[in-house]
């Protein structure tokens, strides 16, 4: 009887990566991993920001808060509204309707000035029909949350705005202070919804939540894993194949 002998495949697979493919795979994996880590960092920042917004600490005097203090810190301030020199922050949408945020300067008892965001107001029939924003200049104490002025994705120089109330796009404290002729606190107070003389004030943390960033992170890490998998597949060769 003939003896059985197993068939041996003379062309076995071996791992033989090419230098160029290895360098490309490593570079791609590193870049994709960095992007994934960046998205994880953004998600962490947004979670921290949401936690700051949800805090209900006792309000502190604005004059005791550093300009680089925590965002959304609860504060109070005492002073008088400057009804004659108000700013209307353009391109603010509420319930699908275009409008503005009303930024009213408040002169504090120590002579300094802070902007108070009194909330959202709609345009009239056209953008030329600005909302009525007049307010009493009586001395008052207000409560709210500290926030920064909105920042544009791209800084563009437009024609200087004129008149009062003044419609503006993405002003900074320096420009607003120059328009008022006095220095401004670097930021603004989001007026509490229970405070009088305000408009629509449904304050929320701007932007999307952290879940979107986590989803992006998963995608970038998947791309990194795919780059390594493709490199491994391309590096497997049968005996006798050229490098």
Predicted confidence (pLDDT) per residue in 5-25, tens digit: 555 455 677 888 888 889 999
Question: What pLDDT score does 108 carry?
Answer: 92
DSSP H or E segment with residue 9? none
Distance CA(5)–CA(71), nearest Å, equals 77
Please list the residues that pair with 97 across neighbouring strands: 94
**Residue spans of the chain under pLDDT 50:** 8
Radius of gyration of the chain (CA): 29
Question: What pLDDT score does 192 carry?
Answer: 95
Q: Is residue 89 part of a domain?
A: yes
Residue reference for tokens 């699908």 = 96
Q: Is residue 204 part of a domain?
A: no
Q: Give the range of the structural domain holding residue 88, as residue numbers without chain letter.
A: 58-191
Question: What pLDDT score does 187 carry?
Answer: 85
Question: What pLDDT score does 241 carry?
Answer: 59
pTM score of the predicted model: 0.73
User: What are the backbone dihedrals phi and psi of residue 71, each rounded to the nearest 5 degrees, phi first?
Assistant: -70, 145
Q: Is residue 201 part of a domain?
A: no
Question: What pLDDT score does 13 carry?
Answer: 78
69 shares its domain with 186: yes
Q: Is residue 99 part of a domain?
A: yes
Question: What pLDDT score does 238 carry?
Answer: 74
Question: What pLDDT score does 127 carry?
Answer: 80
């Amino acid at each position: 009887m003939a003896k059985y002998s197993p068939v041996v495949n003379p062309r076995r697979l071996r791992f033989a990566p090419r230098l160029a493919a290895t360098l490309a795979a490593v570079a791609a994996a590193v870049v994709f991993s960095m992007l994934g880590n960046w998205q994880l960092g953004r998600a962490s920042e947004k979670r921290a920001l949401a936690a700051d917004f949800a805090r209900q600490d006792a309000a502190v005097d604005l004059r005791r808060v550093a300009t680089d203090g925590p965002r959304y810190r609860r504060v109070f301030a005492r002073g008088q509204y400057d009804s004659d020199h108000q700013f209307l922050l353009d391109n603010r949408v509420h319930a699908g309707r275009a409008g503005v945020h009303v930024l009213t300067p408040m002169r504090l008892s120590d002579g300094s000035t802070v902007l108070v965001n009194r909330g959202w107001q709609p345009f009239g029939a056209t953008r030329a029909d600005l909302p009525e924003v007049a307010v009493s200049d009586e001395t008052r104490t207000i409560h709210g949350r500290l926030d920064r002025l909105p920042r544009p994705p791209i800084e563009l120089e437009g024609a200087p705005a004129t008149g009062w109330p003044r419609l503006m796009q993405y002003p900074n404290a320096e420009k607003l202070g120059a328009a008022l002729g006095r220095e401004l606190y670097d930021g603004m107070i989001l007026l509490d919804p229970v405070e009088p003389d305000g408009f629509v004030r449904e304050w929320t943390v701007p932007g999307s939540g952290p879940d979107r960033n986590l989803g992006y992170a998963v995608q970038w890490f998947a791309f990194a894993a795919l780059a390594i998998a493709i490199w491994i597949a391309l590096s497997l060769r049968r005996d006798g194949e050229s490098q």
